[in-house]
Each structure stands twice: as structure tokens, then as C-alpha cells.
Structure 1
Amino acid sequence: MRRHRRAKIVATVGPASNSPEMLKRLFMAGVDTFRLNFSHGTHEDHAKVHAAIRALEAEVGRPIGILQDLQGPKIRVGTIRDGKITVKAGETIRFVRNGADGDKDSIPLPHPEIFAAAAPGHHLLIDDGRVRVEITGLSDDHIDAKVLFGGTISNRKGVNVPNTVLELSPLTAKDRADLAFGLELGVDWVALSFVQKPGDLLEARGLIGDRAGLMSKIEKPAALERIDDIIRLSDAVMVARGDLGVEIPHEEVPGRQKELVRACRLAVKPVIVATQMLDSMVAAPTPTRAEASDVATAVYDGADAVMLSAESASGSYPVEAVAMMDRIIRSTEQHKLYRSIIDASAPGEEQTAPHAVAAAAAELAEVIHSSAIVAFTSSGTTAARIARKRPAVPILAITSDSAVSRRLSLLWGAHSVMSADIHTYEEMVERAINVGQLEGFVRPNESMVVVAGIPFAQAGTTNNLRVIQVS
């Protein structure tokens, strides 16, 4: 079950893919981590999918990651008289804090935090930016706005507030209930939606502890202003281009994507590029050329993983979408320019001994043409430090912790294997050779570079490098 590619695939589970049979087909086609979107479905639905994935994991003998994606505080207009209204550019409309069955002069916007934080000149984007208005005046209970781009405003449509930092917890009451349920199930990652500032992560971290990895979804302009601190407090990052692309100009999204991937690689944090990657495959068996190029760009950028959303959750061709993404990744990574592009985007070296050892291992393995780099890792950090270098040599990550093994299914280049703790150098060499041969990474008369921490089985110590020859 070894994947012959470095970048990983995340697929969202939904009505088109939630049966045990379809989950297995998707895994065999290339899925490394499954995403459970808690914006949709019941707890019972998600529990069934979780159980099916864990049963599949036992059947195939490979770790499979499960990502719980929380809905977050979605801002919406209230109900409109007759269900919808049409507004035209140049018109003045009014949003009211309290009200129902509104018209152009009283569109319900039941979110006091917007009234507290908005200011004249700020924009409101309705229905993913299809309608854009500029605030001209406001009070405690109403907002007057001029329509910049007209269109239809209908019941419960979403509202984005790109210029405004809202005093809003990223965890709603629903999110807290969903999070408690997900942690009880045993999810591997929790994705936090609409992160605006570093403090947003502290509340979630207090609830999660070390029971799952904390992933920040970057979809607000405010988050970009504090991105280094947000990355530092996260275990992983998702470049959520859907809402981000609504709130910042479209032409800025590609550059921001590259900045985020590079920053995460520098910080040794896995990064997912997500949203509309193969969007036409929701309804068609093949993607557009532009979509194929989009996936390849994320791979050239050095992203740890690329993600499918509606393509695998509700589309007509979920297996074909995964297989296509797998082929695009493998073709990109085999292209003659891939290695030079990846090397050119390498971040500077961290001035610490653990990073130096990991970097030396990656370089040594390439120089002596080793078959693999074996990382003995109790927390996943040693493997992540090696992956930061994006080496040309495969990474075989050996851990005794099943939770760590599953989280490593999101890490670039890492093939994770469960094995008991080691306690001596002799055990380390013997285990590396046995696992390397069993998993098909090394053959007789080939070498491997082994990285570990001394004392063994202690998290955070990457201080030992050894070359072993397989006799």
C-alpha cells in the first residue's frame, strides 16, 4: 500500500462517498486523509463514516487520517419578504439588527458583532460576493449601505465582512458540541473555521489539548496580517481559498497561497491547499486544463496535501476525481523541472541542532543515493523536520503511537508504519532494516540513513544520524 508520490490527498466525505464500499474505493484510488464536514450531516452520520474508516484501516493495514472540519460562525442575513429581493448598483439599502420578513429598507442582519465593529467605507459581501455593498452610515440598530454590485439577496444567504475584525469566537455552541463528539470518536485533526487572530486558537487548544491536531483554516484577510503567530500556534494549516477568495481580490489568491505554503514549510507545519481544485469533476468525468494546472501548481509550491471538497462529497465522479488528482500529483513530481523548483523554494535553515540533523540526513541520503530516510519518531516532529527539506529520497516514519501514525498521513513524503518502541542502537538498526525491507523501501546491498532521538522514545529530540548498509 505504498503511495508512489510525496504530496497527500484529502477527500471530503458526503452523500456520494459515505458508504463503506465507496470509502474503500476512494482509499484505493489514493485518499490519505478523509475530511468530515460538520457543516452538514448528523452526528450519527459522521459516527458511521468514522467507524467505516477505522474498519477499512484495520483491513488494509495502513494508517488513515480523519479530519473534523467545524462549521464556525457563519454570518447570514435573516428572512426576506417573498423569499428574495433584487438590488441594483447605486441603490441605497438598509440592514437592521432586529427584524423579520425584511425588504430593501429593513434587511435582517441578526449579528450585533457586525454593528459593533463595522465603519463607514467597509464592505459587506452577500452570497459569496455576488452582491457587494459599501457602508455609508450606521447606528446601534441599522446599517445604511450603497450597492456597488447588484443582484439577488435571498433568505439566509451568507455575509462576508472582509475589512472588519469581528469580536466573534470561532467556536459556536454547535461547534463545541461537534468538537466534543469528534474528540470522543477519536478524530485525528480538528479544523477551525474563520480564524481571525492568534487568540482564536487558544480557546480551541484548551478544549482539544493533545487529543487531536489543531488546524487553522485561513479564509479571512485579518488572519493574513497575523499569519506567523497563527501558524506558530497551529499544528497544521488549510489554505481555504473559497471564503478567502471572496474576501480578498481574486488576483491576490495565487500569491497568498505561495506565501502560506512557504511559511508553513519554514515553520515545519503541514499545509493543505483546498477548494475548487477539480470543481468541474462534480458533474464531469474529467477536469479542465486549468484545474489540472491548479493542482500541479500546489504540488510545485511544495504543499503537503491537496483537497477535494464537493468533488468527492456530492459529485457524480468521486473515484475518478481522486484518481485524477493522484495522476496529476505523480506526473508533476516526476517532471524534470519539479526538483529544481522545489529546491529553489526551500526555506532558510533553522539554527537549531534538531533541524541541522534532519537537514544533514536529507542531504546525506541524496549524496550517497540511499534508498530511504528512516525516521524514528514518537511525536512526528522528527519526520516533519526531514520533510521540511522536501528530499528526493522517500521518508519511512516509524512510530509506536497510532495517533501520530495517522496524523503523519497528512505529511509530505512520509510513509508511516506502526512499530514498538526501540531502546538500543542494535534494536534501531535491526528495526530499520526489517521495516524497510517489509515495506519495500530497501533491498540487499542498499543503504538507508536513519534519524532518531536519544534517549529513544522521547518526543522532540532529533539528535542522532546513522548510515546503515543492508547486507
Structure 2
Amino acid sequence: MRRHRRAKIVATVGPASSSPEMLKALLEAGVDTFRLNFSHGTQSDHARIHAAIRKLEQEVNRPIGILLDLQGPKIRVGTLRDGKITVAAGETIRFVLSGSDGDRGAIPLPHREIFAAVAPGHDLLIDDGRVRVRVTGLGDDFIEAKVIVGGTISNHKGVNLPGTVLDLSPLTTKDRLDLEFGLKLGVDWVALSFVQKPSDIIEARSLIGDRAGLMAKIEKPAALERIDDIIQLCDAIMVARGDLGVEIPHEDVPGRQKELVRACRLAVKPVIVATQMLDSMVAAPTPTRAEVSDVATAIYDGADAVMLSAESATGRYPQEAVEMMDRIIRSTEQHKMYRSIVEATQPGEEQTAPHAVATAAADLASVVHAKAIVAYTSSGTTAARVARKRPSLPILVITPSREVSRRLCLLWGAHSVLSDNVRSYEEMVERATAFALAEQFASSRDLLVVVAGIPFGQAGTTNNLRVVSLP
């Protein structure tokens, strides 16, 4: 099950991919982490899928990551008298806090936090931005707005507010129930939807603790304004280009993606690029050339992982989509321009001893033509510090924690194996040699560069570097 690529693949599980047979096919095709989207399906559905993945993990004897993606607060219009209304640019419409059977003079918008936060000049985007209106006046229970882009507003369509920070927890009652359920199952990552501010991460962390990695989905302009603080507080980032692309101009999304990937590399946090990467493969067996280029761009940017959504959850060709993504990644990473591009986008070096040791390990391994870097880690930090450099050779990670090994299924270049804590330098060398041979990273007389923290088993220390010659 060794991957001959560095970037990882995340695939969403849904009706098209939830059978044990398809899960195994997707794993063999290249999936490293499976995403359970709690916006759809029941808790019992997700429990069944979780159990099937864990059974598969035992069969293949390799760690498999599981990501729980919380639904988050969904803002929607209420029920309209005729099911829908058509509005034209230039006309004035009114939203009301309460009421049913609404019309253009009283469109139900049952979210009090909007009425408390919105201001004249703010825009409301309805149905993924197909209809855009601008606030012209408001009261405690109504909002008057001018239609900027006309179209059809129908029952329960989503509403985005790109210029408004809502006093709204990212965790609804449903999310809190789903979160506790998922943590009891033993998921490895929790993705928090519609993050707006650092306090959202703090709130989620208070519930999650260290039971799972916390991933912030970046899909709100407000989050971009506080992105450095958000990255520092979470364990990983997802560039969720769906809602983000609704709330900021389309042409700004590629640049923001590059900024986020670079910021995460600098902070030593994994970053996933997601949404519509191979979207045409929902219905077709091959992607468009533009989609292939989109996946490759994320790889050139240095993203840790790329994600399939509807392609693997509800599409007609889930296995083919994973196989295609795997081929694109491998081809991109083998291209003659890949190394120069990745090295040109290296973030500035952190001026700390642990980062310096990890960087030295990557540089030294390249200079002496080692076959692999072996990173001992109890928390994943040492492996992440090495991966930050995006070295040209594989990273074999040895950890005593099954939970850490599963979370590392999102980390660029990491191939993790489980082992008891080592207690001496001699044991460190012996075990690194044994695993490198067993996992076919090296053979007799090859060199390894081994990086670890002393004392062994203490999280966060990266302070020891060894060059090992295999017998």
C-alpha cells in the first residue's frame, strides 16, 4: 500500500461509494483519507461506513484517515406562497424575520442573527449567488433590499452574506450531537464549517480536546481577514472553494488558494484543496482539461492533499475519479518543472532549533543521496517539520500512536508505521533500518537520514539527526 506520490487524496463517501467493496476499491485506487459528510446521511449510516473503513484498515494493515465534516449553520430563506418568486434587477424586495407563505413583499428569513448584524450596503447572495440583493434599509424584523442581479428565489434556498460577520456559533445543535457521536466512533479529523473568527476554533477545541485533529474550513471572507490566528489555533486547513467562491469574486479564488497553502506550510499545518476538482466526472468517465490543470496547480502549489466531493460520493465513476486524481498527482510530481516550482515557493525558515534540525535533515539527505528520511514522532510534529521542506525523497514516519499514524494520512509525503517507543540511540538506528528494509524504502548499503527528538517519546522536540548506513 505504499504510495508513489507525495500529495494525499481525500475522498468523500456517499451512496456511490459506501459499500465495503467500493471502499476497498477506492483505497487501492489511491485514497488516503475518507471524508464523512454529516450534511447528508444519518448517524447510523456513518457508523456503518466508519466500521467498514476500520475493518478494511485491519485487512490491509495500513493506517486510513477518517475525516468528519460537520454541516455547520445553514442560512436559508423560508417557505414562499407559490414555492418561488422571480425578481428583476432594480426592484425592491423585503425580507421578514417571521411569517409563512411569503411573497416578494415578505420573504421569510428566519435567522435573527442576520437582522442584528446586517447594515445598509451589505449584499445577500441567494442560491449560490445566482440572485444578488443589496440592503437599503432595515428594522428589527425586516430588511429592505434592491435587486442587483435578478433571478428566481425558491423555497429554502441558501443565503450567503459575504460582507457581514454574524454573531453565530459554527456549531449548531445538530453539529454538537454529530461531533460527540463521531468522537465516540473514533474519527481522526473534524472539519469545522463556516469558520469566521478565531473564537470559533477555540469553541470547537473546547469540545474536541485532543481526541481528533481540528480542521478549519475556509469559506468565509471574514476568516481570510483573521487567517493567521485561525491557522495557529487549528491543526489543519481546508480551502473550501465552493462557498468561498460564492462570497468572494471568482477571480480572487486562485490567489487566495496559493496564499492559504503557503501560510499553512509556513505554520507547519496540513492544507487540503477542495471542491469541484474533477466535477465533470460526476457524470462522465473523464475530466475536462481545465479540471486536470486545476488538480495539478494545487500540487505545484505544494498542497498536502486534494479532495473529491460529489465525484466519489454520488457520481457514476467514483473509482475512476480517484484513479485519475492519483495519475495527475504522480505525473505532476514527476514533471521536470515540479522541483523547481516547489522549491521556489519555499516559505521562510523558522528561526528555531527544531525547525532547523528538520530542514537540515531534508538538505543532508539530498546531499548524501540517502534513500529516505526516517522521522520518529509521538505527536506528528517532527514529521510535519520535515514535510514542510517538501524534500525530494520519501519520509518514513515511525510513531507509537495509532491515532497519530491515521492523522498523518493527510500529511504530504508521510508514510507511517507503528512501533513501540524506542529507548536508546542503538534501538533507534536498529528500528529505522528494519522498517526501511521491510517497507522497501532502502536496501543493503543504502543511506538513511534519521531525525528524532531526545528524550524519546516527548512531543514537540526535534533535536537529533543521524546518518545511518544499512548493512
* TM-score normalised by length of structure 2: 1.00
Counterparts of 1:345 and 1:286 in 2: how far apart (Å)? 31
Task: Indicate the percent of aligned positions where both proteins have the same amino acid.
Answer: 79
Q: 1:261: which partner in 2? A: 261
Trace 1:391-470 onto structure 2 (pairs within 5 A). Answer: 391-470=391-470
| Paired AA for residue 51 in structure 2 | A
Is 1:389 paired with 2:399? no
CA distance in 1: counterparts of 2:77 and 2:22, whole angstroms: 37
Partner of 2:190: 190
- Deviation of residue 340 (structure 1)? 0.1
Report what 1:57 is aligned to.
Answer: 57
- Deviations 1:334-366 (CA, angstroms, capped at 9, x unpaired): 000000000000001001000000000000000
Name the structure 2 match of 1:133. Answer: 133
Aligned partners of 2:309, 2:337: CA distance in 1, in Å? 29
Q: Which runs of 5+ in 2 are unaligned?
A: none
Instruction: Classify the secondary structure of the residue corresponding to 1:215.
Output: strand
In the aligned structure 2, how far is the partner of 1:156 from the partner of 1:62?
43
Does residue 80 of structure 2 align to residue 89 of structure 1?
Answer: no
Aligned residues: 471
Aligned ranges for residues 38-437 of structure 1 at < 5 Å?
38-437=38-437
Task: State the alpha-carbon separation in 2 of the partners of residues 306 and 215 from structure 1.
Answer: 14
CA RMSD of aligned residues (A): 0.4
Q: Counterpart of 1:360 in structure 2: which amino acid?
A: A
Cα deviation, residue 420, structure 1: 1.1
Q: Distance in 2 between matches of 1:385 and 1:22?
A: 34
- Distance, in Å, in 1 between the alignment partners of 2:295 and 2:453 is 36
What is the alpha-carbon distance in structure 1 between the residues aligned to residue 143 and residue 341 of structure 2? 49
Letter in 1 for 2:290: A
- Partners of 2:340 and 2:320 lie apart in 1 by 30
**What is the distance in 1 between the residues matched to 2:174 and 2:459?**
34
Deviations along 1:361-419, one digit per CA (max 9) or x if unpaired, are: 00000011100000000000000000000000100000010000000000000001111
| Letter of the structure 1 residue corresponding to residue 41 of structure 2 | G
Partner Cα distance (1:91, 1:45) in 2: 45
CA deviation string 1:408-434 (max 9, x = no partner)? 000000001111110001100000000
C-alpha displacement of 1:82: 1.4
Q: Separation in 2 of the partners of 1:100 and 1:459?
A: 56
SS in 2 for 1:287: coil
**What is the identity, as a one-letter code, of the residue corresponding to 2:21?**
E
The residue identity in structure 2 corresponding to 1:400 is P
* 2:238 match: secondary structure: strand
- C-alpha separation in 1, matches of 2:355 and 2:114: 44
CA distance in 1, matches of 2:269, 2:355: 13
CA deviations over 1:311-354 (Å, ceiling 9, x no partner): 00000000000000000000000000000000000001001000
Alpha-carbon separation, structure 1, partners of 2:134 and 2:427? 67
Counterpart amino acid of residue 305 in structure 1: A
1:135 partner amino acid: V
Pairs within 5 Å for 1:8-47: 8-47=8-47
Q: Post-superposition shift, 1:91?
A: 1.1
- 2:316 aligns to what SS in structure 1? coil
TM-score by length of 1: 1.00
Structure 1 stretches of at least 4 aligned residues deviating more than 4 Å after TM superposition: none
| Separation (CA, whole Å) in 2 of partners of 1:81 and 1:62 | 55
Bigger drift between 413-422 and 305-314 goes to 413-422
Q: Post-superposition shift, 1:226?
A: 0.3
Q: Distance in 1 between matches of 2:88 and 2:310?
A: 31
- The DSSP-based 3-state class of the residue aligned with 1:375 is strand
Q: Distance in 2 between matches of 1:276 and 1:201?
A: 26
SS in 1 for 2:115: helix
Runs (5+) with no aligned partner, structure 1:
none
Letter in 2 for 1:298: A
Report the equivalent of 2:5: 5
| 1:52-74 deviations in Å (ceiling 9; x for gaps) | 00000000010000000000011
SS at match of 2:329: helix
Q: Residues of 2 paired with 1:150 and 1:9: CA distance?
A: 39
How far apart, CA to CA, are the structure 2 residues paired with 1:129 and 1:417?
46
Structure-2 separation of matches of 1:323 and 1:393: 23
Q: Give the Cα separation in 1 of the matches to 2:142 and 2:387.
A: 52
Deviation at 1:214, TM superposition (A): 0.3
Find the residue that maps to 2:346 and give its secondary structure: coil
